[in-house]
Amino acid sequence: MMELLQTILWALVALGVLVTFHEFGHFWVARRCGVRVERFSVGFGKRLVSWYDKHGTEFTVAAIPLGGYVKMLDEREGPVDEDMLDQAFNRKSVWQRIAIAAAGPIANFILAIFLFWLVFLGGTAGPAPIVDKVTPGSLADMAGLEPRQEIVALDGHATPTWQALNWRLAKRLGDTGEMEFTVRYPDSHLEYEMVADINRWLSGKEVPDPLAEIGIELYRPPATMRLAVIAPDSPAEKAGLRAGDTVVSSDGQPFTTWEDWTAYIRERAGKAISVGVERDGETVTLEVTPIEHKLESGEVVGRIGVGPFGTPWPEEMIRRYEYGIGGALLKGLNETWEKTAFTLAGLKKLIFGEISPKNLSGPITIAKVAGTSAESGWQSFLGLLALLSISLGVLNLLPIPVLDGGHLLYYFVEAIRGKPVSERTQIIGLQIGMAMIIGIMMLALYNDITRL
């Protein structure tokens, strides 16, 4: 229960920050264009807290934390006093209205740059992508990749860490053509180019795992036999296993590697297992029954809900980067640009069926990721906030009525034609836009629920 509450809390924090910045963008530019802002609301529905500033704007925190809005004085929403007509939104020039509509998404991109700047200001570090195993017959095998090679670039872009390699692989989802790996061997500066041919790569996969699909397993230090994590309400917890226990045997058979022991557990779903552990200098024997867990492939495996302590990474396999104030800002700008391009490319692939719509995530997934990233540290959480801010900015710029992009579309048409789009056209567009947004939200929520 506590874990669920923390997940909800961090999700609300993330959503609150993103919505507040987005709406503040509209608010700030509207004020500078001379528009009277009547209400600035974070959330919808019943007002929980509200206050007024010297300009008469009501600031509100509402009960339903799934968005927000800025309500401006507008003749289309009711009569406006004669002496306040010059402050009405609809009386402003088309270019001022364009600036106000665009300000929300722009605020999200500015927030992303600032958050990435904070992340890079603290420096970054990550394990180098060094090949440990190659699956026979896989893309990696056909390209010529071998164990112990370090993948230093993909398609000409540097991949100094696991995260960088995963991002570059994710950009190729649904693509057809060549995937070019640049590798080098240990204690060598010589680099080699290796090429794999791909055709609509992973386009039908619901939840693709790019590293596994190209057929490589990256090196990680071996796990110890000492338990670090016992999942709540898991078979392990019910059996009496504790964090700090060291597994020594199962069913009388000794085990010395985590990989061998977990393989033994996986093969015994629903079957009682006797587990011997060392605890406080004594050997304790407990009985645990692995639950059945169905993998995406359809295979059913056993799980008991435990995680091990790991062995520290060798320092020579860690890539560390330090940035000054200016360097961190440039890195933040570049990261925002790349992630924006990645988001747009992903949308294009979704629309044209190059990747599965199952990749679309909704509020449940976002909440879970927010909670996990918060537990991983402030840099991880700020990085997630930056990514979500970019996604919100891109989504709102789509030319769909209801969204900022839909309003911008109408205003640009007005700027070209010299007169506003007819009210009837706007109403029809609003209905279509609402249907599209509701459809997308329902699909995202359905994906979330099926993942549970």
Note the pLDDT of residue 421: 86
- Same domain assignment for residues 210 and 260: no
Note the pLDDT of residue 1: 56
179-188 confidence digits (pLDDT tens): 999 999 988 8
- Same domain assignment for residues 265 and 285: yes
CATH number at residue 149: 2.30.42.10
**Residue 205 pLDDT greater than 90, yes or no:** no
- Same domain assignment for residues 282 and 136: no
222-231 confidence digits (pLDDT tens): 889 999 989 8
- Same domain assignment for residues 301 and 316: no
Residue type, 382: L
- Domain-embedded: residue 196: yes
**Residue 366 pLDDT greater than 80, yes or no:** no
List the one residue out of 441, 340, 430 whose CA is nearest residue 388. Answer: 340
- Domain-embedded: residue 264: yes
- Same domain assignment for residues 316 and 185: yes
Last residue of a domain, one of 284, 310, 336: 310
Note the pLDDT of residue 200: 86
**Residue 27 pLDDT greater than 90, yes or no:** yes
The more confidently predicted of residues 351 and 111 is: 111
pLDDT band at 101 (very low <50, low <70, confident <90, very high): very high
For 15-47, the three-class secondary structure string (H helix, E strand, C coil) is HHHHHHHHHHHHHHHHHHCCCCEEEEEEEEEEE
- Domain-embedded: residue 427: no
Report the mean per-residue pLDDT for the chain.
87
Last residue of a domain, one of 298, 320, 342: 320
The more confidently predicted of residues 438 and 89 is: 89
**Residue 138 pLDDT greater than 70, yes or no:** yes
- Same domain assignment for residues 186 and 316: yes
pLDDT band at 242 (very low <50, low <70, confident <90, very high): very high
Query: Is there a contact between 11 and 4 (Cβ–Cβ < 8 Å)?
Result: no
Q: Tell me the C-alpha distance between 249 and 124, whole Å.
A: 39
- Same domain assignment for residues 215 and 233: no
Residue type, 15: L
Structure tokens at 346: 């992903």
- Same domain assignment for residues 193 and 304: no
- Same domain assignment for residues 213 and 137: yes
Average pLDDT over residues 92-96: 95
- Domain-embedded: residue 232: yes
**Residue 374 pLDDT greater than 60, yes or no:** no
- Domain-embedded: residue 375: no
pLDDT band at 450 (very low <50, low <70, confident <90, very high): low
Q: How many domains would you assign to the chain?
A: 2
Q: Tell me the C-alpha distance between 355 and 346, whole Å.
A: 8
- Same domain assignment for residues 182 and 297: no
Give residue 267's Cα distance to chain centre.
33
Q: How far is CA 114 from CA 15, 106, 311, 324, 335, in A?
A: 17, 12, 35, 14, 11
264-312 confidence digits (pLDDT tens): 999 998 999 999 999 988 999 999 999 988 776 678 889 999 999 988 8
Query: Would residue 23 show up in a list of annotated catalytic residues for this protein?
Result: yes
**Residue 348 pLDDT greater than 90, yes or no:** no
Q: Which of 3, 23, 316, 354 is catalytic?
A: 23
Percentage of the chain lying above the pLDDT 90 cut: 50
- Domain-embedded: residue 155: yes
**Residue 76 pLDDT greater than 90, yes or no:** no
Q: Would you give the DSSP letter of residue 290?
A: P
Average pLDDT over residues 251-258: 92
E strands within 317-372? 318-321
Q: Tell me the C-alpha distance between 448 and 360, whole Å.
A: 9
**Residue 452 pLDDT greater than 60, yes or no:** no
Last residue of a domain, one of 262, 287, 320: 320
- Same domain assignment for residues 264 and 164: no
- Domain-embedded: residue 291: yes
Q: Tell me the C-alpha distance between 227 and 244, whole Å.
A: 5
Note the pLDDT of residue 451: 60
- Domain-embedded: residue 78: no
Residue range(s) defining the domain that contains residue 256: 223-310
Note the pLDDT of residue 299: 81
- Same domain assignment for residues 294 and 149: no
Note the pLDDT of residue 431: 85
